[in-house]
Chain A
Amino acid sequence: MERVKKINMYLYTRYERFWHWLQMLLIVLLLVTGLEVHGSFMLLGFERAVEIHNFAGITWLIAFSFFIFWIFTTGEWRQYIPTTRKMFQVIRYYSYGIFRGESHPVPKRKEAKHNPLQRLVYLSLAAFLLPVQMVSGLLYWLYNDWQAWGLTGLSLNPVVLIHTAGAFAIFSFIIVHVYMTTTGHTVSAHVRAMITGWEEVEEGEVQEWEKSVRRTPAPR
């Protein structure tokens, strides 16, 4: 097979990287303290776990609103537009091609940082799972105000059920996500990129499937 030339590309801006690692910190905190509040284990003590969980949750809400602001002011929301083009190739790659040493069918580009599978997963995460977690968490936190809001018909049970289910889904995502960082051209390539912003990617043209999605050039 022909050796593909690699070039260094600045993929992730400072804010993106900051947001990613802050997110990681908060999610780990929330997951650990959340599971303790849930009664899965004893680590910090119930009271402290609740305090940290609430603090991290509110911090998360504010940080997430910064992210929303950023994603729309920079136009980066386009990175999350779902597409089915090349989706099959990506799935085929991860379930078969990767074992044969094939190249990734969708190399990263500044204008398309995420492959179709990533787009789908991250969009579901940012637009569905995380908001569900935020709304259910906020409701849970403000349980004592329900009556004042007229939320008399609601019981804590479904809110807890949804929040717990969401937590398990996020837990599962983290496991797969962390593993996927090792699937770059070297085991640490993706992690390095998320720290420095620079990633080694295969040289080449912007591909057809990217062009059709991107009607306007990204503002620079």
Chain B
Amino acid sequence: MKPSLRSLAVVPATLLLFMIIVLCLPPAYAATEPAQDQAPGRTMAQQATKEKNLWITVDHSRIEALQKDFRSGLEVTQACLSCHTEAADQIHKTIHWTWQAYQTEDGSVHGKGGDSINNFCISANKMQDKGCLSCHPGWGNETKTINCLNCHSNKTMNWVEAFEDLSAFADSDDPGEKEIADELRTNLLASVQAVVRPQRQNCGECHFKGGGGDGVKHGDLDTSLTNPNKALDVHMAVEGRNFECTRCHTTILHNIAGRVYTKPAATDRKSLIDDDLAPKITCESCHTSKPHAADSKANDHTDKVACQSCHIPKFARVNPTKMSWDWSQAGKTKDGKPYKTQDEFGKDSYLSIKGQMRWDKNVQPEYFWYNGSISSVTVKDKIDPGTVVQVSHPVGSRDDANARIFPFKVHEGRQPYDKVHKTLLGPMLSGPDGYWKTLDWQHAISKGQEALQVPYSGEFDFVDTTYVFPITHMVAPKGQAVSCEECHVRTDGRLAKLTGFYMPGRDRFSPLDAMGWIVVLGSLVGVCLHGLTRMFTGGRKEDK
């Protein structure tokens, strides 16, 4: 056969064989086909959260015990407890009532009702700082009787004021005052009878406004979540799944799932679908640990990267959140009077009673290894004032099988510490002795430490601190998830600070790379020289 014919036959044969091989190989591209069914994790999540038609058998407005002329919070609570006989006992055991998590061996009680410290308003001074009590589920500033309606009424109400006014006007003969009293009665009764399962604004009243204002603390929890759209939160979106907080934060005997810190919400990463464990609360509870399309590389990441790390690219996407708080700047006055300044968001950037504060919007989280627990410093723990004190910090390492790379808001602070005892201090802020009244650190700290029953040397200074919040709300639509290159990049990636393991695209062994390129370029230079030499020496003399 002639060479030209042979070579002609090669073309179709080659093509055929290549096609056979390609057809035998569906691996990588099949996964990216949009024509395929949606990812199994999505299907599972929809199945797990299928609309439950929760039935209601009680119309509280028709309950006889709630038809009373209520004169105090105590009477309302008694009416609730006349049917819900065990509710008070249950609440009294929960952290929502005690604000105490657990006691460590050295005797310090963790929790804001105990010895815990943060870098916002620092300490609740064992509940003696009344400014902190607006969130306690009692009536007004007292901690004796539960206010069931804090969480269970869909009408918000200033109970203290309402009851005070009522008792002032109730027995009046003046027709005008009588009218006011009747209106108050109507409003009170409406609120008392508007009993619901807790809704977003119930939980949000405290959790959106933690630290004393909208978005101060969490960054992923603020009033924008009362009626979020899909771009802000795919789960809670009003036009979408419209989840209430309780959809995920499930409850057993008034104990609400989802608490982190030393007792994480879930220690093992099991799917809810596996055995229908209602109180577990992780993304995997609904989405399973393989939530993406089959063979998707993203499924391989779930063992080391939390869902939140990719699916919450930024927090505080609608309302700004406080990023730092420098107490050492507090106390300045203008013309002898306290003053304040505001930033571009209309938020307080300086307050004489609070100091310098920085707010930010659309914040990129910081990432740490996190096993679901957070270690925190109490008023009794020794600190090293020479370093930035981690008032709270995520627990976990790469070697910890339960730890994942997780996004956090890190709040920077500068707050008082005891120069002799090397402990953080809990000044009293509100009340007649509080710093907000006196602008006198020495006095406020003494009073605060007294309330905490922790000694104070009398010498204080300020120290830099950090405090962390896990970012887990404000899950963005999947199209806005963090892209591969935001981490797998040589410099300035999101995970640039997480070292100690090899990450493709980011890490390399520089000596190997250098050697490799020397070999490659050396080869190139070598063949060029060889070729040039051939050209100049003539080569192939016998062919000429």
Contacts and interface: CB of A to CB of B under 8 A. Distances in A.
Contacts of A157: 502
Interface string B1-32: 00110110110011001100110110111001
Given A39-B489, A164-B516, A172-B520, A101 B542 contact: yes
A172 B6 contact: no
Nearest to A162: B512
Interface in A134-154: 143-144
Interface in B329-380: none
A168 B29 CA distance: 27
Query: Interface SS of chain A: helix, strand, loop or mixed?
Result: helix
Interface of B: 3-4, 6-7, 9-10, 13-14, 17-18, 21-22, 24-25, 27-29, 32, 297, 300, 303, 483-485, 488-490, 501-502, 504-506, 508-509, 512-513, 515-517, 519-520, 522-524, 526-527, 530-531, 533-534, 537-543
A1 B9 contact: no
Contacts of A84: none
Given A18-B13, A62-B24, A168-B517, A176 B18 contact: no
Given A39-B505, A59-B21, 16 more contacts: A1-B541, A4-B542, A17-B14, A37-B504, A38-B505, A39-B508, A46-B505, A51-B28, A55-B28, A59-B25, A62-B24, A63-B21, A94-B530, A143-B300, A160-B502, A185-B543
Interface string A1-25: 1011000101000110110011000
21 contacts: A8-B3, A10-B3, A15-B17, A37-B488, A39-B505, A50-B297, A50-B504, A51-B32, A51-B297, A55-B25, A62-B25, A63-B21, A98-B534, A101-B540, A103-B542, A144-B300, A157-B502, A168-B512, A168-B520, A171-B519, A175-B527
B6 A10 contact: yes
A37 B485 CA distance: 10
A99 B533 contact: yes
B527 A176 contact: yes
Contacts of A4: 542
B539 A55 contact: no
Nearest 10 pairs of A and B residues by beta carbon? A101-B541, A168-B516, A179-B527, A55-B28, A99-B537, A196-B7, A198-B3, A46-B484, A175-B523, A172-B523
A59 B538 CA distance: 43
Nearest to A3: B542
B519 A169 contact: yes
A14 B10 contact: yes
Contacts of A197: 3, 6-7, 10
A37 B505 contact: yes
B27 A165 contact: no
Interface in A35-90: 37-39, 42, 45-47, 50-52, 54-55, 58-59, 62-63, 66
Residue of B32, B490, B501, B520 ringed by the most chain A CB atoms within 10 A: B520
A129 B275 CA distance: 49
A156 B14 CA distance: 38
Given A52-B28, A55-B29, A99-B539, A18 B17 contact: yes
A141 to B, nearest CB: 10
Contacts of B488: 37, 39, 46
B542 A18 contact: no
A151 to B, nearest CB: 14
Contacts of B533: 99
Contacts of A100: 537, 541
Contacts of A51: 28-29, 32, 297
Most chain B C-beta atoms within 10 Å of own C-beta, residue among A4, A14, A198? A14
A99 B540 CA distance: 8
Contact of B27 (A14, A58, A101): A58
